[in-house]
């Protein structure tokens, strides 16, 4: 079984160095390093802007007001990189982020507000500064840690373009762990357990497919679930993930294929395909409503329903261009794309800054400092997220209901979410013309039933088994509910 709370989750992804510089508690103010990259300056690959976990704590109420009830934090452990995928100490929260005490307080404050916290687990590789790798660099064949890595020969040449060890994508900064080594394996599994004792609610696993050892992940699951049966284990798998979603490894994956389908449908001719093609999203194509439906239905049939309702559904992340830029600044399409995400099975996930319309191209431009000047916010996007999160919270069908196809033509898609005796109908107009809704309900509601769109408040009718009389403006969405 997947964790029950994830079906009700609305995730907000935070890149800690770029979210907010917090002050820390009055008794122990957070030390802010000198020589930081200016917050508003274009981000660079190596620059640190100084965001910390105290800043996240300061904005928990802002996030809760928008409807978010779960946080996914990019790596927070000691590292020599601003993104912290170059881990040097897995048992220490980076001092720049506030150290272990900041995480302890973040988890406490989040839980006090009914919010969950999951951390990014980078178990495939570490940074060159990790103690075990440093030991091998200093002692070479005499090091008891040499078998923690895939060493080809000595010297390691760790600061050359051609290192003598296996590294993630041949990047010498990221030596790859040998998880077949019992001591290395135990070390990594103990990391997973340690932070669960701190109260975190799960792990997002970085490039888990590169640890080509299903038994490692089975043991990981056993150890994590023994600590907390409700801990969420979600893997970064960009495509078909059936291998890892049989109930013995991960609970879910980051559902990029669903995001690509939504982007293709809502983005249409506005979609910046060149920008997408040079990122992890790959080549995105415009999708008509029927093609989008087929993509979605295939995804929902690919996995068990337990997994489908626990998927981390997202369109963008720290590894992709931003939504506002992918849709060429067309705010109506941005709002519609996000609204659509909230109506589909799985947990909607929003990358920091998308709720205010931040722009951003390829890494590192997609990791700009969060804008806290509200005069520069696209508040209509915030309003959409707030409204859709509230609808999801109050309608069990949007969280648990099965997807039932109703209608698809050109840029117009309709489907139902059916849960026990409750059902809602979602109509999406991804075209530039107004849509006078007339769609078959296939017996979903009785003839003559009065219905209303819970977003706009407009009324509709069930006539002869069809939903009629609703008007959808261009690039808008309605969620219909029977009033009887």
Active-site annotation, residues? 206, 236
- Going by their DSSP bridges, the two strands 435-440 and 466-472 should be labelled as antiparallel
Q: Which among 141, 142, 139, 168 is positioned nearest to 152, based on CA atoms?
A: 141
Give CA angle at 64 (340, 309), nearest 5°.
Answer: 45
- Going by their DSSP bridges, the two strands 252-255 and 312-313 should be labelled as parallel
- Burial (0-12, 13-18, 19+ Cβ within 10 Å), 197: exposed
Rounded CA gap, 346 and 319, in Å? 20
């Amino acid at each position: 079984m997947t964790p029950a709370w994830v079906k009700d989750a609305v995730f907000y992804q935070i890149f800690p160095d770029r979210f907010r510089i917090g002050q820390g508690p009055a008794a122990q103010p957070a030390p802010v390093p000198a020589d930081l990259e200016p917050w508003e300056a274009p981000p660079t690959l190596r620059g640190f802007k100084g965001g910390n976990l105290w800043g996240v704590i300061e904005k928990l109420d802002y996030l809760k007001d928008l409807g978010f009830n779960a946080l996914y934090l990019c790596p927070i452990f000691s590292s020599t990189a601003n993104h912290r995928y170059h881990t040097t100490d897995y048992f220490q929260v980076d001092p720049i982020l506030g150290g272990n005490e900041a995480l302890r307080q973040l988890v406490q404050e989040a839980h006090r507000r009914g919010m969950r916290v999951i951390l990014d687990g980078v178990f495939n590789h570490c940074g060159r500064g990790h103690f075990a790798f440093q030991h091998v660099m200093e002692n070479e064949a005499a090091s008891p840690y040499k078998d923690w890595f895939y060493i080809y020969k000595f010297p390691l040449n760790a600061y050359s373009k051609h290192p003598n060890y296996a590294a993630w994508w041949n990047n010498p900064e990221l030596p790859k762990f040998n998880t077949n080594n019992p001591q290395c394996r135990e070390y990594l599994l103990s990391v997973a357990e340690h932070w669960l004792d701190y109260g975190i609610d799960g792990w997002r696993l970085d490039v888990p497919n590169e640890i080509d050892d299903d038994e490692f992940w089975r043991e990981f699951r056993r150890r994590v679930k023994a600590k907390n049966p409700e801990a969420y284990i979600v893997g970064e798998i960009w495509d078909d993930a059936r291998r890892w979603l049989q109930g013995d490894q991960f609970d879910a994956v980051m559902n990029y294929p669903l995001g690509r389908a939504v982007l293709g449908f809502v983005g249409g001719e506005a979609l910046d395909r060149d920008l997408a093609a040079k990122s992890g999203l790959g080549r995105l194509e415009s999708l008509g409503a029927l093609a989008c439906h087929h993509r979605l239905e295939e995804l929902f049939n690919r996995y068990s329903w337990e997994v489908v309702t626990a998927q981390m559904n997202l369109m963008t992340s720290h590894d992709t261009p931003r939504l506002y830029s992918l849709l060429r600044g067309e705010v109506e399409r941005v709002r519609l794309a996000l609204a659509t995400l909230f109506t589909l099975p799985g947990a909607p996930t929003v990358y920091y800054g998308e709720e205010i319309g931040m722009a951003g191209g390829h890494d590192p431009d997609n990791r700009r400092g969060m804008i806290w000047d509200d005069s520069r916010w696209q508040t209509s996007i915030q309003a959409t997220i707030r409204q859709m999160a509230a609808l999801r919270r109050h309608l069990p069908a949007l969280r648990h209901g099965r997807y039932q196809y109703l209608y698809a033509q050109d840029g117009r898609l309709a489907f139902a979410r059916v849960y026990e005796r409750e059902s809602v109908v979602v109509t999406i107009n991804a075209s530039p013309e107004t849509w006078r809704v007339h769609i078959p309900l296939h017996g979903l509601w009785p003839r003559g039933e009065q219905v209303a769109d819970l977003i706009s408040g407009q009324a509709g009718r069930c006539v002869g088994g069809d939903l009629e009389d609703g008007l959808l403006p261009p690039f808008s969405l309605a969620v219909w509910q029977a009033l009887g």
